[in-house]
Amino acid sequence: MSNFKRNLVFLVIGLLCIGGMAAYSRPAGYGYAPGQIALMTFNIRNATADDGHKDIADIASTILKSNADFVALQELDSVTARSGRMDILRELALQTQYYPVFSPAIKFDGGKYGIGILSRERPLSVRRVPLPGREEARTLLVAEFRDIVLACTHLSLTEADRAASLDIIRSEAQCCSKPFLLAGDFNDTPDSPFMELLQNDFTILSSKDKNTFPAKSPEECIDYVTAYKPTSAPVVVRSAEVPDYGHTSDHRPVLVRFQLKTPAQRMLVGEPYLQNPTGGGVSVMFQTRTRVHAWVEYGTDTLSLRRATMEYGGQAVCHDIEHRVRLEGLLPGQQYFYRVCAREILHYAAYSKIFGDTLRTQFYSFRLPAENQTDFTALIFNDLHQYGATIRKMAALAATVPHDFIVFNGDCLAEPSDREDAIRTVHSLTSRFNTAEIPAFFVRGNHEIRNAYSAGLPSLLEHPGGQTYGAFSWGDTRFVILDCGEDKPDDHWVYYGLNDFTAFRRQQQDFLREEMRSRPFRRAGRRVLVNHIPLWGNTDKYQPCSELWCPILGKARFDLNVSAHTHEFRYHPAGDKGNPFPVCIGGGPATNEATMMVLSRKGKDMTLRVLDADGKELGTWDL
């Protein structure tokens, strides 16, 4: 490769790094164990193996085998004559696609010689600090990253110079509030006076019992990974090894895998939210930024608390970041208080567990309805489509109307691309609409069915009956929810043969027949049907739900059907469009067309009011 081509490739990789090369922790912190870090230190003797053979590809292969997030390197040439005018660190960066930072210690052979850092994450800042060395000058390379500060060094062969260097290194560490990690070739053994002095301020994270030099048959340990004690509390070592990847240098690499504790205040994503308030219970759902053991403390006051956990077969479920804790045996009409608790699990092995900090949230409260209760107020939203301005306005409007629960009638979450996106969109609604204290029901719309993570979205919600359709009672009012599926035929090219909503809709035919015969439906004081795509008053040519369900629904005695999808507010009295009962279709996602339905029951009377985003009343109907 010519120098021009090599420099061009390196420039492209540098630009990728600046734009955000793959970081060692997942963006936005929704993946579990975001603080897991692998750090390697390696004296590569300028990419020269024991037999004198120079092969940068071997060193690059060693780095890639380690899967390290950060690599501290010593004995690097930069465009020296003995290295053929090659920049060793740059070549390693090209072959590994890590971000390189070089710190020269001395001028040598027409170029420079020193140390460097390779990292998956671009440094936030870099400092190069001279260190004493009588045989040759030394240097300290300090790179700050999002969660840690990494310092790389190659200390002097002279003990007095090493001791003098320690004062300088300590001064650098004292300036950092993040964990300060010092890695490199210290040129001294663990039981030496210098290493004893160093351990007054630094904890050795690597293994002192595993020798690192010479590579073929190591006789002494002189390469280390350490942590500055005043900022090391979040650091928990998972493993420390000296791998034998082949003798690509006269040193063996040192690899330490550790995890950073998550501060308690950052463990929870948003706030908890209440789901499925049925059967004398309610589910508290929440997600964490790291793996935890979670539980919920609850009771009728904040002093006498019971504890509920998520268990399977007698074992606590704590392998993921999604949590659902069911509170059972609740008294109807009684106010309850609860808080979410979570203890971080830093290491989970068969016979070894390491825990981090413990979170306890504030207390929240809720109340479930009594079976014979009639009065309630429900707010119904639809087609928010993640429009930020509309969500903010509607949440502010909702706060002005006292209500018992909320229904999001489809296309409110919209097309999740991955789990992180799904969690973010769920919390854009649950946190803003205070569903930590007010239960919310999520009806699936056609847009929630689309994109890569749509089939994973139900794991973040809990529907009555366990399906995306079903029924629940609020007091003596029965709500029936239907899932219309997509708005195009299953064989439409955009679905690539991945949908079978035809069978799914027929399955709901059976559900409807069974529900209409059920005791809760027959004995209900009032009945409300909720579905996203209108069954009546829909101008779409493709109407399989109407064809399958309307003949059954025509025999049912519903007081209201709430629909959405068209982005145009409409109210159809019974018989207006062949509908056997009133139908209200909600508005669209823009602030000038969005609607909030307020469904109220007081005694025998049921009323529907529809407001626009400014709170202006669009209509009121006695049902």
In the structure, what pLDDT confidence band is assigned to residue 10 with cuts at 50, 70 and 90? Answer: very low
Give just the sign of the alpha carbon dihedral 446, 450, 453, 456. positive
Predicted confidence at residue 404, as pLDDT, reads: 96
Q: Which of 9-18, 217-226, 295-304 has the lowest mean pLDDT?
A: 9-18
Q: Are 151 and 141 in contact (CB under 8 A)?
A: yes
Check the CA dihedral 313-316-320-323 and report its sign: positive
Q: So what's the pLDDT on residue 27?
A: 32
Q: Report pLDDT digits (tens) over 56-66.
A: 888 899 999 99
In this prediction, residue 106 carries a pLDDT of 83
- Per-residue pLDDT band for 541 (boundaries 50, 70, 90) equals confident
Is the peptide bond prior to 214 cis by the omega test (within 30 degrees of 0)? Answer: yes
Between residues 45 and 509, the one the model is more confident about: 509
pLDDT of 21 > 50? The answer is: no
pLDDT at 495: 86
Average pLDDT, the chain: 90
d(CA 340, CA 352): 25
Distance, in Å, from the CA atom of 462 to the CA atom of 130, rounded to the nearest integer, reads: 59
Tell me 455's DSSP state: G
Q: Using 50, 70 and 90 to split pLDDT, how confident is the model at 14? A: very low
Q: Where is pLDDT greater, at 85 or 20?
A: 85
Q: Which tops the pLDDT comparison, 1 or 604?
A: 604
Task: Give the containing element (helix H, strand E) for 99.
Answer: strand 99-108
* Stronger pLDDT, 13 or 581, i.e. the higher one: 581
Confidence (pTM):
0.79
Q: Among the listed ranges 54-63, 186-195, 338-347, 598-607, which one has the minimum average pLDDT value?
A: 54-63
Please compute, for residue 424, the number of CA atoms within 13 A of its CA located in the half-sphere on the CB side.
Answer: 16
Residue 430: φ, ψ to 5°: -65, -40
> Residue 339 and residue 284: Cα distance in Å, rounded?
10
* Residues 479, 485, 489, 491, CA torsion sign: negative
Q: Which region among 3-7, 159-163, 232-236 has the lowest average model confidence (pLDDT)?
A: 3-7
Tell me the pLDDT tens digit for each residue of 410-460.
999 988 999 999 999 999 999 999 999 999 999 999 999 999 999 999 999
- What is residue 524's predicted lDDT score, i.e. its pLDDT? 93
Token pair 């053929």 is found at 84
Alpha carbons 526 and 274: distance in angstroms, whole number: 24
- Residue 342: pLDDT band by 50, 70, 90 thresholds? very high
Q: Do 264 and 305 touch, CB atoms closer than 8 A?
A: no
Cα 403 to its chain centre, rounded Å, is 31
Residue with tokens 């663990």: 190
Instruction: Tell me whether strands 376-381 and 440-443 are parallel, antiparallel or unpaired.
Output: unpaired
Instruction: Report the percent of the chain where pLDDT is more than 90.
Output: 72
Residue 15, pLDDT above cutoff 50: no
| The pLDDT value given to residue 34 | 56
Please, what are the domains in the chain? 3-260 (3.60.10.10), 264-367 (2.60.40.10), 376-622 (3.60.21.10)
Q: What is the mean pLDDT of residues 339-347?
A: 92
Question: Tokens for 479?
Answer: 């709500």
Q: What is the pLDDT of residues 26-79, one digit of tens each?
A: 333 333 345 789 999 999 887 766 666 667 888 899 999 999 999 999 999 888
